[in-house]
Amino acid sequence: MTNINNRQALLGFSYFKKIGPFKLSLLEKFFSNTDSAFWANTDNLEKAGLSQKLAKEFIEWRQKINFSKIEEELKQEQIDFITWHDPTYPALLKEIYAAPYVLYFRGDSGALEGKGKNRLAIVGSRKHSAYAEKILNNFLPILLTKNLEIISGLALGVDSLAHQVTLNSGGRTIAVLGSGLDKISLYPRSNYQLSQEIIKSGGLLISEFPPKTPALKQNFPQRNRIISGLTQATLVIEAKEKSGALITARYALEQNREVLAIPGNIFSEFSSGPNQLIKMGAKTIISPKDILETFNLESDETANQNHKSIKNILPYPDLKNEVESMIYRILCQAQARAERITTDEIIKITKLDTAVINSTLSILELRGVAKSDEIGYAVN
């Protein structure tokens, strides 16, 4: 038996996947301290509320634990942790049901507590449209002048965009992951560079999952309760009716936090989620001022009137022929509506041959005039 303190005991429990916050609470109520719970025998673990099967599984598992090795791995990966007994544990998060008893983090530990800070969660679709880009590019620079901190999940789409625009605007952002924080497990891998930028800017990466935990499907709903739990309000920008963003919104409601939603095109599947939330009573957001009112912050009207997104200032590139000019104008018109446009729609508008449109779009992309994704084309 290794001599450990309560903090190390909680760290050890977090590596055993089958004892979550609820069962850990039972153990802490029964035993005088957490290290006693960690080394308890089967009978006492059962008396505390664990099933006989689970108690035996845990005792068999703990025979293999090596605290020195765990602590060395955390040090090598520059990962630290706090427990729900630490004074710096986020007060808002402690209020929620089944709060994580251990939080792993990388970055500025001073950013973790959140006392006296206004935090906004931003979530949305993994396949965002130009509409979401326009909202974030217009809203966030204004919100960040009021020192709001932006929380999201580092996922592709709206999450990544919220983090990146916050960084570009000089704000602080926190990413909550559904995997371990070590280099191998960090998910998604394509956002590794973004995760490092978040740390360097004074932000944080957070997870309740220990290192070497892969991004399992069941981890993400669990992760979402932390995103909403760290904040006073959750903003949903784009989401399908069944999506992780709406799971986060439901958690926010259960946690008695504000749910905010950006209305969208009723014919777009990506607007069905926020539009449904609005029908159910979520606060409709059409300007940064609406969000600031949620935090009882005054809106700077001058900033609202004068702020222009970089995306709204479209330079006219050196176009080579009339077809390029025609397509560029169509892309600009779609940009003004905060939309992407598909190849089929461009063909329908121009009435030109499919091969001509496809080759011209490819040339415009190569020259950096246009960009594309699964939704369609837009001005770069």
CATH code, domain carrying 363 = 1.10.10.10
Rounded distance between C-alpha atoms, residue 72 and residue 266, angstroms: 53
Token pair recorded at residue 75: 């040090």
Tell me if the pTM is above 0.75: yes
Structural domain range at position 290: 104-306
Residues 261-291 have pLDDT tens digits of 999 988 888 899 999 999 999 999 999 999 9
89 falls within a domain: no
With CA atoms as reference, report the closest residue to 186 among 205, 166, 160, 167. Answer: 205
With CA atoms as reference, report the closest residue to 252 among 163, 119, 69. Answer: 119
88 falls within a domain: no
Rounded distance between C-alpha atoms, residue 48 and residue 365, angstroms: 63
Following CA atoms 177, 182, 187, 191 in sequence, which dihedral angle do they give, to the nearest 10 degrees?
Answer: 100
Task: Specify the pLDDT at position 316.
Answer: 59
Rounded distance between C-alpha atoms, residue 121 and residue 123, angstroms: 7
- For residue 271, CA distances in Å to 173, 240, 309 come to 25, 7, 22
301 falls within a domain: yes
99 falls within a domain: no
Task: Specify the pLDDT at position 339.
Answer: 79
- For residue 7, CA distances in Å to 20, 35, 158, 282, 291 come to 16, 8, 36, 39, 38
Query: pLDDT digit of tens for each residue in the chain (380 aa)?
Result: 678 999 999 999 999 999 999 999 999 999 999 999 999 999 999 999 999 999 999 999 999 999 999 999 999 999 999 999 999 999 999 999 999 999 999 998 888 887 789 999 999 998 888 889 989 999 999 999 999 999 999 999 999 999 999 999 999 999 999 999 999 999 999 999 999 999 999 999 999 999 999 999 999 999 999 999 999 999 999 998 888 999 999 999 999 999 999 999 888 888 999 999 999 999 999 999 999 999 999 876 544 443 443 334 345 567 888 889 889 888 887 877 777 899 999 998 888 889 999 999 999 999 889 999 878 898 88
Are 153 and 159 contacting, i.e. CB atoms less than 8 angstroms apart?
yes
Task: Specify the pLDDT at position 313.
Answer: 37
Give CA 247 to chain center in angstroms.
12
Angle at 368 between CA 362 and CA 372, to 5 degrees: 55
261 falls within a domain: yes
293 plus 232 within the same structural domain: yes
Are 39 and 94 contacting, i.e. CB atoms less than 8 angstroms apart?
no
246 plus 290 within the same structural domain: yes
128 plus 266 within the same structural domain: yes
Token pair recorded at residue 362: 């490819």
119 plus 250 within the same structural domain: yes
CATH of residue 153? 3.40.50.450
Residues 102-153 have pLDDT tens digits of 999 999 888 888 778 999 999 999 888 888 998 999 999 999 999 999 999 9
302 plus 318 within the same structural domain: no
Token pair recorded at residue 79: 């990962």
Task: Specify the pLDDT at position 1.
Answer: 67
181 plus 294 within the same structural domain: yes
Say how many domains are in the chain. Answer: 3
Rounded distance between C-alpha atoms, residue 295 and residue 233, angstroms: 8
174 plus 321 within the same structural domain: no
Of 60, 76, 92, the position where a domain reaches its end is: 76
Task: Specify the pLDDT at position 300.
Answer: 66
Token pair recorded at residue 373: 């994704």
339 plus 280 within the same structural domain: no
Of 306, 324, 346, the position where a domain reaches its end is: 306
97 falls within a domain: no
Cis peptide before 188 (omega within 30 of 0): yes
Rounded distance between C-alpha atoms, residue 245 and residue 273, angstroms: 8
Of 261, 276, 306, the position where a domain reaches its end is: 306
270 plus 136 within the same structural domain: yes
Task: Specify the pLDDT at position 306.
Answer: 39
DSSP 6-40: HHHHHHHHHHSTT--HHHHHHHHHHSSSHHHHHT-
Task: Specify the pLDDT at position 155.
Answer: 96
281 plus 235 within the same structural domain: yes
92 falls within a domain: no
193 plus 211 within the same structural domain: yes
With CA atoms as reference, report the closest residue to 55 among 109, 16, 111, 9. Answer: 16
272 plus 252 within the same structural domain: yes
83 falls within a domain: no
Rounded distance between C-alpha atoms, residue 162 and residue 11, angstroms: 31
